[in-house]
Amino acid sequence: MKFASIILLVVLSISLYAQRPTSNPVTKINKRPKLVVGIVVDQMRYDYISKYYAKFSENGFKKLMNQGFNCKNTNYNFAPTYTGPGHASIYSGTSPAFHGIIGNDWFVREKNKTTYVTDDSSVQTVGVGSVNGGKMSPRNLLSSTIGDELRLYSNFKSKVISVSLKDRGAILPGGHLSNGSYWFDSGSGNFITSTYYMKELPKWVVDFNELHLAEKYLSQPWNTLLPIAQYTESEADDNPYEGLYSGETKPIFPHNLPAMHSKNDFGIIRSSPSGNSIIKDIALAALKGEGLGKGDFTDLLAISFSATDYIGHKMGPQSIEIEDTYLRLDRDLGELINYLEKNYGKENIILFLTADHGAAYVPSELIDNKMNAGYFNTKGFGDSLKSHLLKTYHDTNLVSSVINNQIYLNHKIITDKNISLKEIEEEIASYSLTFAGIANAYPGYLLNGYSYKNKMALLIQNGYTIKRSGDIALFLEPAWLEELSPTGTTHGSAYSYDTHVPLLWYGGNIKAGYSCEPVEIIDISPTIAALLDIMAPNASTGKPILSITN
């Protein structure tokens, strides 16, 4: 009996010990940062951060790379890769198939016309700017964003502010519940918004506009930051693959910005590094004017640098102009990061930097170097397709539009003529393959339900939504662009030069390091949600990046 009592006492002791609360609970609640800063660089190829590394300062890209975490294998999981879909996907955590932003423009069958991604005729311009420049809102965005979820979680006590040169670069990251989304108006040189958000600009934006920074930035020619001989990573300054600025006869430095703008047209700032600098300026003004990160709840500031895209389209990725733009952007980033650390402390912020898409090399340059590349004539293709359909179906009006490498059919005429939609989709897809530069064509009925195993087809499918997308999607060969200009570049494909983008993380609880594990752009918002212990956006299909959250 004595032995049995001892055994019982030991068992009870073990049981009671097991029920004691542990000092290291299984559930970990993250310390929330004061501020999340999202930075999107428009048209930034992944390789720019290594290509220009030696010339970067210690305070911008290098600091993010060396003291933050570098997700080296980050890609878009859909096509087309444009500004609107890119920004929407970063902040919604899902692809166009679910958030509905399938392009910067798309054809609307019900209205028989093309619409712009943020067009909204029900709102008006707020601020001194062009009448139509402010008729914009996020109403076309079907899903919530990480900012929306932050606002809902905090019972609308968190603040969300977004700024960009482009309206879509400010509106889509800000989401539906933004406290203020502001974009640049070329006619006035001011930042404006719409009545979707507010009835009048806050004082800090009015004060910012009264500084007339656009005019000041454009008062000096654009010359290189460093001696031009040091730009060894780029093509010669004078080469046939770069476009011309207004009034120029050669694409060379210096670019005479003062001669390219007038009292009523400040648009040239978009195509100069100063376009990024003025976004840095208004971002700093927003931090101060809104008191971001100073309240009891986490705030979000979304910044989109767009001058890189305008310059890239005109000059291409091998130009000295692009290299100089990134060297200057690096200095702007350094100023922004320094302000954040000084006023909040690194431990109280989470910052990420990525891009809305990459860019192709200039096809004419590749052709001259005996590589496969080309230019796809969309209009010529559309005219030829109509002629083919006239012979086959005796009608020239079966195609309503060709846009974003997608063919929209006139469903009413097809129904009235008792033509099978599936049959005509297959006929057009087959006919399309006879054209140079088209690698494949996908009928809409397959994109809407068929499970593709081919990666490129899957990316097109992820960018497809039946209510807004076309009936046939065209897929071009590598380095073929849907533009005819032999200078400059563009983007939109499912190839790595468009999908592979930087993703850098920095701030509190972000360990220094890097990973080559595959990451998708739709993983960014779920990662932020995990760090903040809030819900991911309501249509999110991404997953938290374990290298960041663990």
* Active site residue ranges: 83
- Backbone CA torsion sign across 221, 186, 92, 76: negative
Helix (H) or strand (E) holding 190: strand 190-194
Ramachandran category for residue 394: left, alpha or beta (phi over 0 → left; psi -120 to 50 → alpha): left
- Backbone CA torsion sign across 82, 139, 291, 89: negative
The label of the residue with tokens 């593709």 reads 452
- Backbone CA torsion sign across 44, 46, 47, 52: positive
Strand, helix or coil for residue 215:
helix
Residues 6+ apart with CB under 8 A from 405: 80, 378, 473, 474, 475, 476, 482, 492
Distance CA 254, CA 415 (A): 59
Alpha helices, DSSP H, located in 33-131: 48-51, 61-67, 83-92, 96-99
Helix (H) or strand (E) holding 259: none
* Environment class of 470 (CB within 10 Å of its CB; exposed 0-12, middle 13-18, buried 19+): buried
Distance CA 310, CA 268 (A): 10
